[in-house]
Structure 1
């Protein structure tokens, strides 16, 4: 059984600029703060070094001490970025979640910027946990996603530039 949530935002930068920021090693620590029971990101690193590429594994270090591994499955600049989280959930999340799949899509918007959508699909360990996980994902995790996209926009577009537009 799966639980899905998504968030969107429009950013006053080109899809290439937004894509390059989102797929950088630094972005998750700058933008994903977590909310409630959802841990934030302290840092991300490509295992073995080098640039991010399809098939690479990234270690995501959380504020809860967890180290999750993210397998990069799609890098299609500047349109799509996908990854699979399959290990590293700490208890109690490890009791609830088997895996997570993130999909980021970047599309030009009518204002000359980027429409950014982030969809997350979590696979549950058992259907019995659906009520708890659904509430957590559609509550705290969704809030974390929305805040992450807002922080992405703040990192890319200084507030004085946003105020002028």
Structure 2
């Protein structure tokens, strides 16, 4: 059984710039603060070093001490970014969630800028936990996603973000 949530925002920057920021190693720690029982991100790192690429694994260090592994499954600059979380959920989340799949899409806005949509699909350990997980994901996790997108917009609105993407 799965639980799905999503969030959207329009950012007044070109898709390439938004994509490059979102997929940078620094972005999660700058933007994902967590809410309630959902931990924030302290830092991320590509396992083995090097640039982010399809097939790479990133370690995501959480504010609760967790270290999650994120497998990068799609990097299609500047349109789509996908990853799979399959390990590192700390208790009590590990009792509830088997995995998580994040999908970011970046679409040029009709008046310029970028429409960003972030969808998350969580696979449950058992259908019995659906009521609890559904409330947690559609409540605290969804709030964390909305705040993350707002922080992304703020970071890209900063004067240093006005330089063209490379």
Q: TM-score, normalised by structure 2?
A: 0.95
Q: After superposition, where does 1:125-144 map in structure 2 within 5 Å?
A: 125-144=125-144
CA displacement, residues 46-85 of structure 1 (integer Å, 9 cap, x when unaligned): 0000000000000000000000000000000000000000
1:138 to partner: Cα distance:
0.1
Distance in 2 between residues matched to 1:114 and 1:2, nearest whole Å: 29
The runs of 5 or more residues in structure 2 that have no matched partner are: 160-166
> Residue in 2 aligned with 1:97?
97
Q: After superposition, where does 1:1-165 map in structure 2 within 5 Å?
A: 1-158=1-158
Segments of 4+ in structure 1 off by > 3 A?
A: none
RMSD (CA atoms): 1.1
Distance in 2 between residues matched to 1:44 and 1:64, nearest whole Å: 14
1:128 to partner: Cα distance:
0.1
CA displacement, residues 7-49 of structure 1 (integer Å, 9 cap, x when unaligned): 0000000000000000000000000000000000000000000
Distance in 1 between residues matched to 2:40 and 2:70, nearest whole Å: 15
Q: In the comparison of the two structures, how many residue pairs are matched?
A: 160
1:158 to partner: Cα distance:
3.0
| SS of residue paired to 2:150 | helix
| SS of residue paired to 1:121 | strand
> Residue in 1 aligned with 2:164?
none
The runs of 5 or more residues in structure 1 that have no matched partner are: 160-165
| SS of residue paired to 1:90 | coil
| SS of residue paired to 2:141 | helix
